[in-house]
Every structure is written in structure tokens, then in C-alpha cells.
Amino acid sequence: MQGLADDIASHEELARVYHGEVDFDGTTAAELQQVLDASQGKLAHITTPDLVLDQPIDVPSDTHIDGTGSRIWCEVPSALFLVEGQRGVSLENLDISGNADIAVFARDASDLVVGNCHIHDLRGKAVVVVGSSAYFHILDNEFRQNRQGGITVGGGSSYGMLRGNRICSNTGYSNWMAGMVLTNVDAESPETLWSSFPGETPHFVERHTLAGIPASAHDVIVRDNTVEHNQSSGVYLDGVYRCYLTGNTIQHNDKEGMCLDGGTLGCFVQGNTVADDGKRARQSEAALALDGMLDFGYLEDGSAVAKLPGISLDNAAYNTLEANTVRGNWGGGIKAVRCAVRNVIAGNAIDDNNRGANDTFFFVGVELGNANEELQGEDLDYLPSHQNLVVGNRITGPHYAGVLISHGCEGNIVSRNVIRGNSNFAILCGSRLSTDLSGNEYDGHIVSRTILPFL
């Protein structure tokens, strides 16, 4: 990870190389486009305090824009700044709001910086990086109150740094409208961002097996961001590999704090704080219906009966979750929903994640889950979780059980954990297959049966 970080950092300097400066005091998008086209290799300062842009800006290579605090209102149908096939571009100190679907759309771009920008109240997302983009740096921005999430990195984009951003209060309830999305879903243009999602409301992507996907985002570092109060999840990883998420604060998001989904492979999740996520207090009936949870209904406080965990894994393999703090979440701490294979869950502090317990559901510290095999689909495996390591965690607070292992799960090792304060069981195992439960310190009891009616 450190070698990757050093490599990415060396390209940040390349993205900011300019020779000379120019001021832009115009009032139209056409004027700005003309200045940028004539000023490649220079730093353009926008000095107009309030600027209305009514057409997309095609950003050339070796272009650098400093917003100097100017407020930009955009009146464009798709994306405001287009960085397509260009390199050596920096967009900094911009305050962007308005009716655009996307503030910055980058495809097949390299050596790109988006820094210290405030992008808010758009119809769609703040930043989208797709195609084969490489060496992109999304740094120290605030993305707030956009209607389809904050950042999306998709396609085969790689060698990126997402650091120091504050991504808060964005809306949209699809997983792909989370605060941060890393995905293998690609887009040829801003207009086709949702073309892979059927229906009037884009919610789940339409695709088949991972083998049919040409490229996935990889080698991206997500570090020291604050992701909070989003209507969907905080961070959503979808079929990506070799990504690193460290030191982030992910809290108060209405769905999961973080989800590793759809074939996510070999990612490293360390030192994050994931708290107060998964209440599902801002999900409409339509959203719950799309997630298959509407039949469970709502509680008296208006939140959904079905809650979500701090961190979930679903069709995810060889990922490491280490030294994270997972506390106060509504639908469990760390949950392997189904088909989690050879993941390591080690050294985490997992506390009080049963806040959403009700007459229908209870929640646990760590769950190794299974699913209804009758629901088998073409894009996901509905299979038990197997050969995972759950070691050295401290699992405290009134979870229904510290650890739960569902029927059919095999070859998992749950060892050297400290489990305290659980309301019913320390470890609840419903699998008749091989499971190592040795060396744990715990309050209460371990229940291991070949048949448990609710597992």
C-alpha cells in the first residue's frame, strides 16, 4: 500500500505543472472555453465572483483552473467539466452548484487533480472517474447534498487517491448512489452513467457474471475521508480489487457504513471508524421494495424494521478487515451476508451493534451468513460463507450473540476473540460442518447445534 501511495503521489506533482498564469474575468461558458483553449500549460484564475455556465467545458490537457472562491452555478444537462482522454489537469478551489448531473466527468484521463472544491446541491454526483483513467487525485473536497451521491470511480480506473474529503448529506438510495462508490460499472459518457440500470429508478445494475466484465477499478487508496449522513451507504465497493481503505470516519449513513459486494477481491480495510449506520430511517416504500424489505414494514419511529450492519460482505473474497472500530450500528457489526470466502476479520473493536433489535430481527457482532439457495441468480452466488478467519477481535456490548455462524458454513476459524456483554450467546453456530471455535474468551455460552430452527 505504501509503495502504491508513493507512486500515486509522484504523479500529483505532474498534474500541477504549469508555466505562467492568466486571469479569467468573463461571464460566459464560451468565454471560459476560449481562454482555456488558448492557455494550455498555464494556470487560469477565475476572478468573476458569481459565474453562470450554460454549456459543458471541454478541459484540454495541461490545463489548470483555480476557482479562487468564485461561485459557479451550472445550467447544463449533463456534466459541467469534461476531462476525456486528457492528461495533466487540475481543478481546484471551485464552488459548484446548480442543475448539472455531474460536476466533473473524467474518462480515460490521467494525472488529474480535483482539490479543495465545494460541490453541492447538484441533480446527480460531484465527481465521476471512469474508463481507463489513471493517477487521479480527489483531495480535500466537500461534496454535500448532491442527489445521487458523492464520488464514483468505475470501469477500469486505477492508481487513484481519494483523501481528506468530506462527503455528507447526499441523497439517492441505490447502492451506486453511496457517498463513495468504487465499481466495475463503466460509462461511455455522462448521459450513459445509468444506462446499465433498468427501470425508471436506477437501483440495481443489470449484468451477468463477473467473467463478462471487461475491467474493474483497482489499486485505489481511500484514506482519511469523512463520509456521513448519506441516504444510501457510506462507501460501496462493487466488484473491485486491490483497493485500500484506511483511517476513514464513516458514520450516520442510512444504509451500511461500508459494503464489499459483487465480487470485491483482495481489498484492505484498516483503521476505519464505522458508527451509527444502517438505521434505514430515510428509505421510501419504493426503496424498501426494490431491496426486498418492504414486507417487513416500518417501526413506530418511522424507520424500517429491517436494519443494516456497519460493514457487510456479499460475494467477497480474500479481503482483510483489520483494526477497525465498528460501534453503535443498527443491524449488526460485521456481516458476511452470503458467499464470503477466505476473508480475514482480525483485531477489530466491535461494540454495541444491536441497536435496531425488534420483534422480527436480532443482530450480532460478527455474522458468517448463508442465503436462500432457491434465490440463486446469474450475477451473485447464493451460497454459504466458508474458510474465513475471525480472530483477535474484541466484541462487546449487548449483541444477541457475539458471533453467529449460519447453516452450511464450513471451514471457518473463530478463535482468540474476546466476547463480553452479549445478551444471549457468546457464539451461536448453526452449521453441522467443520468450524473451529477454539481459544475464545467469552461471557455466557457457546451454542453449537446441527439444527437451529431460525438459522
Is 346 in contact with 389 (CB distance < 8 Å)?
yes
Confidence tier at 449 by pLDDT (50, 70, 90): low
Q: Each residue of 293-344: pLDDT tens digit?
A: 999 999 999 999 999 999 999 999 999 999 999 999 999 999 999 999 999 9
Indicate if the pLDDT at residue 374 is higher than 80. Answer: no
Confidence tier at 373 by pLDDT (50, 70, 90): low
pLDDT recorded at residue 450: 46
Confidence tier at 377 by pLDDT (50, 70, 90): low
pLDDT recorded at residue 166: 98
3-class state of residue 180 by DSSP? strand
CA distance 384 to 341: 9
Nearest alpha carbon to residue 251 among 224, 271, 233:
233
pLDDT recorded at residue 163: 98
pLDDT recorded at residue 451: 45
CA distance 96 to 2: 33
pLDDT recorded at residue 234: 98
Question: What number is the average pLDDT over the span 72-94?
Answer: 96
pLDDT recorded at residue 209: 75
- Contacts of residue 106, defined as CB under 8 A and 6 or more positions apart, other chains included, come to 83, 84, 112, 127, 128, 129, 130, 131, 133, 136
Question: What number is the average pLDDT over the span 107-133?
Answer: 98
Indicate if the pLDDT at residue 258 is higher than 70. Answer: yes
| CA contacts within 13 A on the Cβ side of 71 | 7
Question: What number is the average pLDDT over the span 90-99?
Answer: 97
pTM, 2 dp: 0.96
Question: DSSP label at 157?
Answer: -
Is 143 in contact with 97 (CB distance < 8 Å)?
no
3-class state of residue 414 by DSSP? strand
Q: Each residue of 271-296: pLDDT tens digit?
A: 999 999 999 999 999 999 999 999 99
pLDDT recorded at residue 380: 79
3-class state of residue 265 by DSSP? strand
Indicate if the pLDDT at residue 54 is higher than 90. Answer: yes
Question: DSSP label at 14?
Answer: H
3-class state of residue 246 by DSSP? strand
pLDDT recorded at residue 376: 62
pLDDT recorded at residue 214: 85
Question: What number is the average pLDDT over the span 48-54?
Answer: 96
Q: Each residue of 413-432: pLDDT tens digit?
A: 999 999 999 999 999 998 88
Rounded to the nearest integer, the mean pLDDT of the chain is 94
What the block records as the C-alpha cell of 70 is 468564485
Indicate if the pLDDT at residue 38 is higher than 90. Answer: yes
pLDDT recorded at residue 375: 63
Q: Each residue of 189-212: pLDDT tens digit?
A: 999 999 999 988 899 998 767 778
Where are the domains positioned within the chain? 73-448
72-76, 214-218, 239-243, 369-373: range with lowest mean pLDDT: 369-373
Task: Give me the CATH code for the 73-448 domain, please.
Answer: 2.160.20
Confidence tier at 350 by pLDDT (50, 70, 90): very high
